[in-house]
């Protein structure tokens, strides 16, 4: 892979180039929404492919080992894969919820304070529903509650 290809690969997310806004463009106008729909669907597609690979892998690798240690190792590996797939399943639900927010013209605005979340934050975490300041405040509160 050439240096240019590496730079391009590192700048794309799920095969989608970052959004380039034009001067004076409306925040969360139709082109920006279309970009995030494309990004979220690409992310969801990758997660779905991963789920399919796991199912195939578990079918192919399933064996009834006579040695209890081998059997335990395989069960532990499968348990770890299933935990990862469960996290991905929850993420797919969150992506679907985010796609619904886009359809309802409610995407890109902080759920707590109502200001713009910001294009760069949404590029980094397309399912974000809090602006940077509100997210930071929520994390601080969470840490304080956890210590009590």
What are the sequence ranges of the domains in the chain? Answer: 24-147
Using the 8-state DSSP alphabet, how is residue 12 labeled?
-
**Which homologous superfamily is 24-147 in?**
DksA, coiled-coil domain (1.20.120.910)
Among 83, 84, 78, 81, smallest CA distance to 62 is for 78
| pLDDT tens per residue, range 34-84 | 999 999 999 999 998 887 777 777 766 766 777 778 778 888 888 888 888
Q: What is the per-residue pLDDT for 5?
A: 42
- The length of the chain is 148
Structure tokens at 28: 């969360």
Stated pTM of the model: 0.77
């Amino acid at each position: 892979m050439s240096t240019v290809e590496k730079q391009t690969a590192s700048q794309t997310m799920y095969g989608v180039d970052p959004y380039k806004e034009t001067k004076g463009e409306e925040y969360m106008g139709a082109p920006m929404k279309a970009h995030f729909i494309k990004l979220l669907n690409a992310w969801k597609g990758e997660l779905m492919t991963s789920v399919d690979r796991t199912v195939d892998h578990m079918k192919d690798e399933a064996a009834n080992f006579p040695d209890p240690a081998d059997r335990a190792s395989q069960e532990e590996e499968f348990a770890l894969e299933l935990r990862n797939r469960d996290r991905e399943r929850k993420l797919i639900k969150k992506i679907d919820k985010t796609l619904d927010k886009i359809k309802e013209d409610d995407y890109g605005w902080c759920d707590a304070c109502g200001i713009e979340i910001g294009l760069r934050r949404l590029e980094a975490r397309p399912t974000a529903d809090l602006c940077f300041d509100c997210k930071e405040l929520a994390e601080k509160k969470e840490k304080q509650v956890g210590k009590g």
